[in-house]
Amino acid sequence: MEIYEPSEDSHLLSKSVKDYLKSLSNKKIKILDIGSGSGIQAKACKESGFDNLLTSDINPDSVLLLKKQGFKSKHSNLFEKIKSKFDLIIFNPPYLPEDELEPKNSQLATTAGKNGYEIIIKFLKQAKSHLNKQGVIILLFSSLSQPLIIKKQAKDLGYRLKLINKQKIFFEELYIYELCKN
C-alpha cells in the first residue's frame, strides 16, 4: 500500500503542531498522531521534546515504517484499536472528495468520501471519547472538504473551534483548526 508522502498540507500541519507545542510547559502530555502516514507529525512532536506519543494508521505499511523510526504505533481504522484518552490528538485526514480518475492505491490516503468530509465527521464523532477533559484536537482540512459542513458538525458535536493556520495553494485553501470539547 502506498504511504502518503508529506506535501504542503503535512508541512503546514507540522508547523502548526510545533507552534502549539511551544505554548505548553508540560512535556508529558499524552499525544495521539492518528493517520500518521510517514510520521512527519510524530517527528514534529519528538523534535519539540514531547515523546509520550502513540501513532496509528490504517495502512499497515505506514505502521511498519513508524515502528522502524522508533515510534509506538498501532494499525487502526481511526479509533478502532485505540482505547486510551489523550491530551492532544493530531489528524491530517484524507480530505478530498471522491475522484474516479484517482488511482485506487492512493485513494486511501487522500479521499475522505463522496463529498470530502465523511472521514473527518466520523473522526470527530469518535474522538470525543478519546479526548481528556482539557484535551485538544489539531485537525487539517481543505476548502474542497466543504468546511462549512465540517464546522457545523463539529459545533453540533460539542466542539469549540479556533482557526490557527491557513494556506492558499493551487486550487484550494488548507485550514488548521484547534478543537476543544465545550
pLDDT on residue 182: 86
Q: Look at the alpha carbons of 171, 107, 66, 52 in this order and tell me if their dihedral is positive or negative.
A: positive
pLDDT on residue 117: 81
In a domain, 133, yes or no: yes
What is the number of structural domains in the chain? 1
In a domain, 24, yes or no: no
In a domain, 94, yes or no: yes
Question: Residues 96, 116: contact at Cβ < 8 Å?
Answer: yes
Q: What share of the chain is helix, strand, coil (3-state, %, to 5)?
A: 35, 30, 35
In a domain, 6, yes or no: no
User: Measured between alpha carbons, how far is 87 from 104 in angstroms, rounded to an integer?
Assistant: 34
In a domain, 17, yes or no: no
First to last CA, the chain: 38
pLDDT digits (tens, 9 = 90+) for 93-122: 876 656 666 566 665 566 566 666 888 999
In a domain, 64, yes or no: yes
In a domain, 26, yes or no: no
Domain interval for residue 79: 31-168+176-181
Please enumerate in sequence order all residues whose Cβ is within 8 A of that of 22, keeping only pairs 6 or more positions apart, or say none.
Answer: 48
Residues of the chain with pLDDT under 50: none
User: Measured between alpha carbons, how far is 170 from 142 in angstroms, rounded to an integer?
Assistant: 12
Unique residue bearing C-alpha cell 488548521 = 176
Instruction: Name 180's bridge partners.
Output: 136, 160
Residue 58: CATH number of its domain: 3.40.50.150
pLDDT on residue 113: 62
pLDDT on residue 106: 60
156 exposure class (CB count in 10 Å sphere: 0-12, 13-18, 19+): exposed
pLDDT on residue 6: 82
In a domain, 1, yes or no: no
pLDDT on residue 65: 96
pLDDT on residue 107: 56
The predicted model scores a pTM of 0.92
